Amino acid sequence: MHVRRLRGRTAPWIEQKRLKSGMARLVLKFGGTSVADLERIRNVARHVKREVDAGHEVAVVVSAMAGQTNRLVELCREAAPLHDAREYDAVVASGEQVTSGLLAIVLQEMGVNARSWQGWQVPMKTDENHGAARIREIDGSFMSERLAQGQVAVLAGFQGISPDNRISTLGRGGSDTSAVAIAAAIKADRCDIYTDVDGVYTTDPRIVPKAQRLDRVSFEEMLEMASLGAKVLQVRSVEMAMVHGVRTFVRSSFDDPDAPQNDENGTPIGTLICDEDELVEQQVVTGIAYAKDEAQISLRDVADKPGVAETVFGPLADASINVDMIVQNISPDGKTTDITFTVPEADYERAKKVLEDNRTEIGFQNMEGATDVVKVSVIGIGMRSHAGVAAQCFRGLASKGINIRAITTSEIKISVLIDSAYAELAVRTLHSLYGLDG
């Protein structure tokens, strides 16, 4: 992620004032389900007011009300299937503008000094890739001044301003990225992501009722979990938080704002995503993630010669199709090879067409594929210093009769591709195997 500047120019006297008073500078982000209607917006306002009453400086980043972005996207498609991306951004960005204005009005009604701002007013400068823009620069001084004056800044997420001076949008899930970027720019002490769950769990509680909420998780672990199927945070937002060291707290917006915010042990209810140095105890395995949106492609009897991988994966890369797991087998005669890999299920048919179009250059005899597969991943920074974690995984799956189609590993994760029929059994087995049931 290329970002030139996200740090604001906070005046030294403001920072000294904050340190002496013990108050914090917070960014609170609320997603679409949290602001789905006026009743929920009022509930959000109570969360904001609680932090203001505690003496904190508060900036709020909001998404569009649930369902609004989909409605606006569909209107663009109905207007013209091949519409101008710049006008598309002008339309879909209006959802966040409505939410930010409504929340500011409700806060003002509660006696809170609040004002709404759009992405271009910050300004959040992006590249020219309308519809999926990347943040290039944020000058946080304007927002820092508002906060220092006691104003709650309510910001429209998901949007910025492009080099052609037009509204740009960051793609789906962009409000999380907006919030983390704003937090970095204004030197916030923490970025709180309010969602419909009360934190990050060791796995999906719908599959494993014994799943435990994690008090803390490292940036690296959260990045792996987000990219491997966990839906709590958007991958780009975790990348940005890690790069800029933005401590991020995942919590529920549906909790009573006036209820105690700590559990019986005095721990804040939620999950803090932070540097590895802040983790008191590092478990070997932190969580089990799974992703159902995978597809497998196998090319049979490919000529085994230098450059064959480039002839396969080069065209896929040119078509912007991401390849994940790769397994290559050599035939007994040493002249041909089988290459198996995974792609996102949404790109499955397109990937097959790209490969078929390049069949002569690649030289494969047959192509096979499957979409009834799932990727299950074991994640934990403690794996760096513990041997045998992978063997334990393979042994546990074998004991349940689960066949592994492909394997990929990194320093802190092991991913296996299996038949989708065994997905829940695999998740439950591994969750218990690594002592995560609590």
Whole-angstrom Cα distance, residue 417 to residue 403?
9
Q: What is the DSSP letter of 379?
A: E
Binning pLDDT at 50, 70 and 90, where does residue 328 land?
Answer: confident
Whole-angstrom Cα distance, residue 202 to residue 377?
12
The pLDDT score that the predictor gives to residue 281 is 67
Q: What is the pLDDT of residues 260-312, one digit of tens each?
A: 877 776 677 899 999 988 887 668 899 999 999 899 999 999 988 888 899 99
pLDDT at 12 over 60: no
Contact 252, 270 (CB under 8 A): yes
How high is the mean pLDDT of the chain?
A: 90
Across 168-177, 332-341, 362-371, 373-382, least confident range: 332-341
Binning pLDDT at 50, 70 and 90, where does residue 44 land?
Answer: very high
Whole-angstrom Cα distance, residue 237 to residue 178?
8
Strand ranges, E, within 196-270: 216-218, 248-252
Contact 24, 147 (CB under 8 A): no
Between these two residues, 310 and 387, which has the higher pLDDT value?
310
Binning pLDDT at 50, 70 and 90, where does residue 250 land?
Answer: very high
The token duo for 41 is 């917006």
Binning pLDDT at 50, 70 and 90, where does residue 4 land?
Answer: very low
The pLDDT score that the predictor gives to residue 335 is 83
pLDDT at 20 over 50: no
Tokens 């320093």 label which residue? 411
The pLDDT score that the predictor gives to residue 47 is 96
Tokens 């998740």 label which residue? 427
Tokens 């490919």 label which residue? 302
Tokens 């970027």 label which residue? 181
pLDDT at 207 over 50: yes
The pLDDT score that the predictor gives to residue 14 is 44
Query: What domains does the chain contain, in order, with CATH numbers?
Result: 12-197+232-246 (3.40.1160.10), 287-433 (3.30.2130.10)
pLDDT at 432 over 90: yes
3-state secondary structure of 352: helix
Other beta carbons less than 10 A from residue 316's beta carbon: 20
- The dihedral through the CA atoms of 194, 199, 204, 209 has a sign that is negative
- The torsion angle over the Cα atoms of residues 68, 73, 78 and 84, rounded to 10 degrees, is 140
What pTM, to 2 d.p., does this model score? 0.85
